[in-house]
Amino acid sequence: MKLDRYTPENLRRPSHGLINIHPIQRGGILTREAREVLLEWADGYSVCDVCVKGRVDLLKTPPIENLKHDVAEFLNMDEVRFSAGARHAMFAIMRAFSENGGTIVLDSLAHYTSYIAAELSGLNIVEVPSTGYPEYDILPESYAQTFERVREETGSNPVLALLTHVDYRYGNVADAVAVGKICEEYGIPFILNAAYSAGVMPVDGKRCKAAFVVGSGHKSWAATAPIGVLAMAEEFMGSVLSTSKIKDMTEKVSPQKELGLFGCSPVYGLPVITLMASFPAVVERVKHWDDEVRKSRYFVKEMEKIMGLRQIGRRPTEHTLNAIETPPFYEVSKTHKKKGYFLYKALKNKGVAGLQPGLTKSIKVNTYGLTDEETEKVVQAFKEIARENGLEVDD
């Protein structure tokens, strides 16, 4: 065994000390307050040592029960639980609607875990198509059309509908209010997957007519991974939060353990503590979403001054996560000695990390939380690399 490979020096992140533009990490970067409590609660399921009721989410010290109520108020929903990521939250919902099979309708830009959660729950999956290249928009009326098609083919409505509020491929912000209204008209419970929206931008579950809002603490709530947010309307609490029915085994399975969360979700340690410590800052930062979009649009505008680069997805961008076609960088990679890794390494040399290694045809970048100065530094890094490799920059 070569144990020296596990030393703190060898385990430093490649992005240490650099500006991180990774598309799935910007909203999860810990706040100063969360970093202050890291060591205090870093030991395993550290909250469990003060649990006396068999349900960690009922604790008042640390105030996890209060956190549930505050997060529910923040999202304008009735009840909240914390799960092992957004994927676990989606599975907990879907399993509650899968007793007799049925169909779930979801957008074609949904994350792969939405599909896996549905498959594990035994639900049939029907997609709502996007408009395709270059905007890949999800039109609300397509949900109504898909509901009608499912009813015609199966004789009944879908049991659930899911919309990815902001998709991970292009950063498009879907019209959740319009889709929610359509779901309400058809009487279909509506899941809003807000993994890339709740926690960084305003989300109002009741305004969207959502039965469920799913969030990702480590993507968008400045918490350590993994932790998900499962918010729900009161009428669905009984089915999703059903408890164990095992009899004569109370010494092994407490009757108050919630099945969909495996009794107690495995996030009650550092993940929930960091989410709690960051929560006041999260509540404040969503008020400044317009400023984040401003910086994102500036970034896209400046990137498109490198001739041949183009943002794909809805224009103008409405989110900080953006996909950009970069064929000129791909052409450079064909003859560069570092091949497809040249862009990743060149950015790192200029103080910017987070680009997926090996990608040059298209890239994804998230500017959330960057200062104006940091945004400008990232822009200039791309432009300098372009010029150094003979590409035209229209400044």
Q: How confident is the model at residue 254 (pLDDT cuts 50, 70, 90)?
A: low
Determine the average pLDDT of the residues in 141-154.
Answer: 97
At 16 the pLDDT is: 75
Give the Cβ contact number of residue 33 at 10 Å. Answer: 15
Residue pair 26/366 in contact (Cβ under 8 Å)? The answer is yes
Percent of the chain predicted with pLDDT > 70: 97
Query: What residue has token string 């490649």?
Result: 14
Higher-confidence position of 259 and 24: 24
When mean pLDDT is compared across 25-39, 43-57, 74-88, the lowest value belongs to 43-57
pLDDT single digits (tens) 179-229: 999 999 999 999 999 999 999 999 999 999 999 999 999 999 999 989 999
Where does 32-285 sit in CATH, by number?
Answer: 3.40.640.10
Please name the residues in contact with 258: beta carbons below 8 A apart, sequence gap of 6 or more.
Answer: 55, 81, 241, 242, 243
The CATH topology of domain 3-29+288-388 is: Aspartate Aminotransferase, domain 1 (3.90.1150)
Taking Cα atoms as reference points, which of 1, 18, 27 lies closest to residue 321? 27
Determine the average pLDDT of the residues in 160-186.
Answer: 98
Q: Which residues partner with 163 through β-bridges?
A: 192
Report the alpha-carbon distance of residue 352 to residue 346 in Å, rounded.
9
At 189 the pLDDT is: 98
Determine the average pLDDT of the residues in 303-313.
Answer: 98
When mean pLDDT is compared across 203-207, 300-304, 335-339, 375-379, the lowest value belongs to 335-339
Residue 259 pLDDT exceeds 80: no
Report the alpha-carbon distance of residue 247 to residue 244 in Å, rounded.
9
Q: How confident is the model at residue 247 (pLDDT cuts 50, 70, 90)?
A: low
Residue 275, token pair as written in the block: 């989410």
Specify the amino acid at residue 301: K
Pairing of strands 190-193, 228-232: unpaired
Please name the residues in contact with 303: beta carbons below 8 A apart, sequence gap of 6 or more.
Answer: 309, 311, 324, 379, 382
Residue 241, token pair as written in the block: 């939060």
Query: What residue has token string 């109002």?
Result: 204
Report the alpha-carbon distance of residue 55 to residue 77 in Å, rounded.
21
Report the alpha-carbon distance of residue 394 to residue 170 in Å, rounded.
24
Percent of the chain predicted with pLDDT > 90: 79
Determine the average pLDDT of the residues in 157-164.
Answer: 98
Residue pair 323/362 in contact (Cβ under 8 Å)? The answer is yes
Give per-residue burial for 34-72: e unless 16+ CB within 10 Å, then b: beebeeebeeeebbeeebeeebbbebeebebbebbebbb
Q: Give backbone dihedrals phi and psi of 15, rounded to 5 degrees, phi first.
A: -90, 5
Q: How high does pLDDT run on average in the chain? A: 93
When mean pLDDT is compared across 16-20, 24-28, 83-87, 285-289, the lowest value belongs to 16-20
Pairing of strands 310-312, 321-325: antiparallel
Specify the amino acid at residue 237: M
**Between the CA atoms of 60, 280, 268 and 271, what dihedral angle is there, to the nearest 10 degrees?**
-170
Residue 358 pLDDT exceeds 90: yes
At 265 the pLDDT is: 73
Determine the average pLDDT of the residues in 303-309.
Answer: 98
Write the CA distances from 296 to 21, 121, 305, 323, 369, integer angstroms.
12, 38, 15, 11, 10
Write the CA distances from 49 to 59, 64, 65, 68, 391, integer angstroms.
11, 14, 16, 20, 59
Report the alpha-carbon distance of residue 60 to residue 228 in Å, rounded.
20
Residue 29 gets which letter from DSSP? Answer: P
Domain definitions of the chain by residue range: 3-29+288-388, 32-285
Report the alpha-carbon distance of residue 380 to residue 386 in Å, rounded.
10
Residue 250 pLDDT exceeds 60: no
Pairing of strands 228-232, 79-83: antiparallel
pLDDT single digits (tens) 67-124: 999 999 999 999 999 999 999 999 999 999 988 889 999 999 999 999 999 999 999 9
